[in-house]
Protein backbone atom coordinates (compact mmCIF):
# COMPACT_ATOMS: atom_id res chain seq x y z
CA UNK A 1 0.00 0.00 0.00
CA UNK A 2 1.47 3.32 -1.11
CA UNK A 3 1.30 6.15 1.43
CA UNK A 4 2.33 9.66 0.50
CA UNK A 5 5.80 10.33 1.90
CA UNK A 6 6.29 6.87 3.43
CA UNK A 7 7.66 3.49 2.54
CA UNK A 8 4.98 1.12 1.32
CA UNK A 9 3.10 -1.12 3.77
CA UNK A 10 1.93 -4.65 3.02
CA UNK A 11 -1.77 -4.72 3.91
CA UNK A 12 -4.13 -7.67 4.02
CA UNK A 13 -7.65 -6.44 3.29
CA UNK A 14 -10.96 -7.73 2.01
CA UNK A 15 -11.31 -8.01 -1.76
CA UNK A 16 -14.40 -5.80 -1.89
CA UNK A 17 -17.46 -4.61 0.01
CA UNK A 18 -19.52 -7.67 -0.93
CA UNK A 19 -17.87 -10.08 1.50
CA UNK A 20 -19.66 -11.25 4.62
CA UNK A 21 -19.04 -14.03 7.14
CA UNK A 22 -20.40 -14.14 10.66
CA UNK A 23 -20.83 -17.85 11.49
CA UNK A 24 -20.89 -17.33 15.26
CA UNK A 25 -23.01 -14.17 15.25
CA UNK A 26 -20.29 -12.03 16.85
CA UNK A 27 -20.65 -9.19 14.38
CA UNK A 28 -24.44 -9.19 14.61
CA UNK A 29 -24.19 -9.09 18.41
CA UNK A 30 -21.97 -6.02 18.07
CA UNK A 31 -24.46 -4.27 15.79
CA UNK A 32 -22.89 -5.06 12.40
CA UNK A 33 -25.32 -5.96 9.63
CA UNK A 34 -24.44 -7.77 6.41
CA UNK A 35 -24.28 -4.34 4.72
CA UNK A 36 -21.77 -2.73 7.08
CA UNK A 37 -19.85 -5.88 8.10
CA UNK A 38 -17.12 -5.50 5.42
CA UNK A 39 -16.45 -1.79 5.96
CA UNK A 40 -13.70 -2.44 8.52
CA UNK A 41 -11.66 -4.46 6.02
CA UNK A 42 -11.52 -1.97 3.14
CA UNK A 43 -8.88 0.71 2.71
CA UNK A 44 -10.63 4.08 2.54
CA UNK A 45 -9.17 7.27 1.01
CA UNK A 46 -9.50 9.14 4.32
CA UNK A 47 -7.35 6.53 6.08
CA UNK A 48 -4.56 7.22 3.59
CA UNK A 49 -4.85 10.95 4.28
CA UNK A 50 -4.70 10.41 8.04
CA UNK A 51 -1.69 8.10 7.71
CA UNK A 52 0.12 10.70 5.58
CA UNK A 53 -0.67 13.44 8.10
CA UNK A 54 0.53 11.41 11.09
CA UNK A 55 3.74 10.59 9.26
CA UNK A 56 4.73 14.26 9.26
CA UNK A 57 3.45 15.11 12.73
CA UNK A 58 6.34 15.76 15.16
CA UNK A 59 7.19 12.96 17.57
CA UNK A 60 6.54 13.88 21.19
CA UNK A 61 8.22 11.73 23.88
CA UNK A 62 5.72 10.21 26.31
CA UNK A 63 2.72 11.00 24.14
CA UNK A 64 0.00 8.33 23.97
CA UNK A 65 -2.06 8.03 20.77
CA UNK A 66 -5.37 6.21 20.27
CA UNK A 67 -6.96 5.48 16.89
CA UNK A 68 -10.75 5.12 17.02
CA UNK A 69 -12.72 3.12 14.43
CA UNK A 70 -9.36 2.01 13.07
CA UNK A 71 -10.54 -0.62 10.56
CA UNK A 72 -7.30 -1.79 8.94
CA UNK A 73 -5.43 0.66 11.19
CA UNK A 74 -3.26 2.20 8.49
CA UNK A 75 -2.54 5.35 10.52
CA UNK A 76 -1.73 3.27 13.61
CA UNK A 77 0.69 1.11 11.60
CA UNK A 78 2.44 4.23 10.26
CA UNK A 79 2.70 5.70 13.78
CA UNK A 80 3.87 2.38 15.22
CA UNK A 81 6.57 1.95 12.57
CA UNK A 82 8.03 5.38 13.30
CA UNK A 83 8.10 4.85 17.08
CA UNK A 84 4.91 6.43 18.44
CA UNK A 85 3.17 4.92 21.47
CA UNK A 86 -0.07 4.10 19.66
CA UNK A 87 -3.08 1.89 20.40
CA UNK A 88 -5.58 0.89 17.71
CA UNK A 89 -9.25 0.35 18.54
CA UNK A 90 -12.42 -0.75 16.79
CA UNK A 91 -15.70 -2.54 17.58
CA UNK A 92 -15.56 -5.09 14.74
CA UNK A 93 -14.71 -8.62 15.95
CA UNK A 94 -12.28 -9.33 13.07
CA UNK A 95 -10.22 -6.15 13.34
CA UNK A 96 -7.67 -7.67 15.71
CA UNK A 97 -7.06 -10.65 13.42
CA UNK A 98 -6.35 -8.44 10.42
CA UNK A 99 -4.18 -6.09 12.48
CA UNK A 100 -2.07 -8.94 13.86
CA UNK A 101 -1.46 -10.29 10.36
CA UNK A 102 -0.56 -6.88 8.94
CA UNK A 103 1.89 -6.31 11.77
CA UNK A 104 3.60 -9.57 10.85
CA UNK A 105 3.54 -8.79 7.13
CA UNK A 106 5.53 -5.62 7.80
CA UNK A 107 8.00 -7.16 10.30
CA UNK A 108 6.80 -4.92 13.13
CA UNK A 109 6.62 -5.52 16.84
CA UNK A 110 3.11 -6.23 18.24
CA UNK A 111 0.85 -3.17 18.12
CA UNK A 112 -1.48 -2.65 21.12
CA UNK A 113 -5.16 -3.14 20.30
CA UNK A 114 -8.29 -2.59 22.39
CA UNK A 115 -11.97 -3.11 21.70
CA UNK A 116 -13.59 0.31 21.33
CA UNK A 117 -17.37 0.44 21.21
CA UNK A 118 -18.28 4.12 21.51
CA UNK A 119 -21.81 3.41 22.70
CA UNK A 120 -20.84 1.11 25.59
CA UNK A 121 -19.60 2.61 28.82
CA UNK A 122 -16.63 1.01 30.63
CA UNK A 123 -18.75 -0.45 33.43
CA UNK A 124 -21.13 -2.23 31.01
CA UNK A 125 -21.19 -6.02 31.39
CA UNK A 126 -20.60 -6.43 27.63
CA UNK A 127 -17.02 -5.34 28.19
CA UNK A 128 -16.36 -8.60 30.04
CA UNK A 129 -15.87 -10.26 26.63
CA UNK A 130 -13.15 -7.88 25.45
CA UNK A 131 -9.95 -6.15 26.43
CA UNK A 132 -11.39 -2.67 26.09
CA UNK A 133 -10.00 0.84 25.68
CA UNK A 134 -9.00 2.22 29.04
CA UNK A 135 -6.96 5.10 30.38
CA UNK A 136 -6.45 8.47 28.77
CA UNK A 137 -4.59 9.60 25.67
CA UNK A 138 -2.86 12.77 24.55
CA UNK A 139 -3.95 12.29 20.94
CA UNK A 140 -7.09 10.59 19.60
CA UNK A 141 -7.31 10.16 15.83
CA UNK A 142 -9.75 8.74 13.33
CA UNK A 143 -10.60 8.75 9.63
CA UNK A 144 -14.10 8.87 8.15
CA UNK A 145 -15.70 8.19 11.54
CA UNK A 146 -18.54 10.73 11.10
CA UNK A 147 -20.38 8.62 8.52
CA UNK A 148 -23.57 8.22 10.58
CA UNK A 149 -25.78 10.63 12.48
CA UNK A 150 -24.82 10.28 16.13
CA UNK A 151 -27.77 11.78 17.94
CA UNK A 152 -26.72 10.53 21.41
CA UNK A 153 -23.16 11.81 20.88
CA UNK A 154 -21.50 8.45 21.48
CA UNK A 155 -18.22 9.31 19.74
CA UNK A 156 -17.78 12.66 21.51
CA UNK A 157 -18.62 10.97 24.81
CA UNK A 158 -16.08 8.22 24.17
CA UNK A 159 -13.45 10.84 23.40
CA UNK A 160 -14.26 12.73 26.59
CA UNK A 161 -13.79 9.56 28.64
CA UNK A 162 -10.39 8.82 27.11
CA UNK A 163 -8.82 12.20 26.29
CA UNK A 164 -6.37 13.82 28.67
CA UNK A 165 -7.29 17.22 30.07
CA UNK A 166 -4.83 18.64 27.55
CA UNK A 167 -5.39 16.75 24.32
CA UNK A 168 -5.62 16.86 20.53
CA UNK A 169 -8.25 15.08 18.45
CA UNK A 170 -7.44 14.60 14.75
CA UNK A 171 -10.21 13.58 12.36
CA UNK A 172 -10.01 13.28 8.57
CA UNK A 173 -13.51 13.71 7.17
CA UNK A 174 -14.54 13.39 3.49
CA UNK A 175 -17.06 16.24 3.82
CA UNK A 176 -19.74 14.21 5.58
CA UNK A 177 -22.85 16.00 6.74
CA UNK A 178 -22.42 15.10 10.42
CA UNK A 179 -19.36 17.25 11.03
CA UNK A 180 -21.19 20.25 12.51
CA UNK A 181 -23.05 18.30 15.21
CA UNK A 182 -19.84 16.54 16.25
CA UNK A 183 -17.99 19.87 16.40
CA UNK A 184 -20.66 21.38 18.65
CA UNK A 185 -20.21 18.53 21.12
CA UNK A 186 -16.44 18.87 21.04
CA UNK A 187 -16.64 22.62 21.68
CA UNK A 188 -18.92 21.92 24.65
CA UNK A 189 -16.12 19.72 26.02
CA UNK A 190 -13.63 22.57 25.81
CA UNK A 191 -12.04 21.82 22.43
CA UNK A 192 -11.24 24.42 19.80
CA UNK A 193 -11.35 23.51 16.10
CA UNK A 194 -8.69 24.20 13.51
CA UNK A 195 -9.95 23.08 10.10
CA UNK A 196 -7.91 22.53 6.94
CA UNK A 197 -9.35 21.72 3.53
CA UNK A 198 -7.65 18.73 1.94
CA UNK A 199 -7.25 18.44 -1.81
CA UNK A 200 -3.95 16.58 -1.94
CA UNK A 201 -3.94 13.55 -4.24
CA UNK A 202 -3.19 10.13 -2.81
CA UNK A 203 0.16 8.50 -3.48
CA UNK A 204 -1.53 6.75 -6.43
CA UNK A 205 -2.48 10.12 -7.91
CA UNK A 206 -6.23 9.83 -7.26
CA UNK A 207 -7.87 13.07 -6.09
CA UNK A 208 -9.17 13.55 -2.55
CA UNK A 209 -11.61 16.12 -1.23
CA UNK A 210 -12.18 16.45 2.49
CA UNK A 211 -11.11 18.18 5.68
CA UNK A 212 -8.54 17.72 8.39
CA UNK A 213 -10.27 18.58 11.68
CA UNK A 214 -7.91 19.28 14.55
CA UNK A 215 -9.61 19.80 17.91
CA UNK A 216 -7.32 20.96 20.71
CA UNK A 217 -7.89 21.44 24.43
CA UNK A 218 -5.27 23.14 26.56
Q: Is residue 17 part of a domain?
A: no
**Domains identified in the chain, total number:** 1
> In this structure, what DSSP letter does residue 105 have?
H
- For residues 22 and 87, which has the higher predicted lDDT (pLDDT)? 87
Residue-level pLDDT at 125: 47
**For residue 14, is it within any domain?**
no
Residue 11 within a domain: no
Residue 94 in any domain: the answer is: yes
Mean pLDDT within 89-97: 93
CATH of the domain at 190: 3.40.50.150
The pTM of the full predicted model, rounded to 2 decimals, is 0.91
When mean pLDDT is compared over 16-25, 88-97, 128-137, 203-212, the highest value belongs to 88-97
- Residue 139: inside a domain, yes or no? yes
83 in a domain, yes or no? Answer: yes
pLDDT computed for residue 119 by the predictor:
86
pLDDT of residue 155: 97
* Distance separating alpha carbons of residues 154 and 77, to the nearest angstrom: 25
C-alpha closest to that of 57 among 139, 119, 178: 139
Domain containing 152 equals 26-217
Q: Is 204 domain-assigned?
A: yes
User: Which pLDDT band holds residue 124 (cuts at 50, 70, 90)?
Assistant: low
Residue 15 included in any domain: no
- Average of per-residue pLDDT across 130-145: 94
For 173-189, write each residue's pLDDT tens digit: 999 999 999 999 999 99
| Inter-residue long-range contacts of 104-113, CB under 8 Å, 24+ positions, other chains counted | 105/10, 105/11, 105/12, 106/9, 106/10, 106/77, 106/81, 108/77, 108/80, 108/81, 109/80, 111/73, 111/76, 111/77, 111/80, 111/86, 111/87, 112/86, 112/87, 112/88, 113/73, 113/87, 113/88, 113/89
| pLDDT tens by residue, 140-186 | 999 999 998 898 899 999 999 999 999 999 999 999 999 999 999 99
**Better-scored residue on pLDDT, 1 or 209:** 209
Amino acid sequence: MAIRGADDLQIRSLLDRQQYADPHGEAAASGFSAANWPLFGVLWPSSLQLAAHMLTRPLTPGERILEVGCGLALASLVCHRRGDDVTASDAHPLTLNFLAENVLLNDLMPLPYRHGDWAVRPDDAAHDRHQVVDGRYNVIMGSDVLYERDEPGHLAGFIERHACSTAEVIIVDPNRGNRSAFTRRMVAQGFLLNETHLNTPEADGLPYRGRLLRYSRT
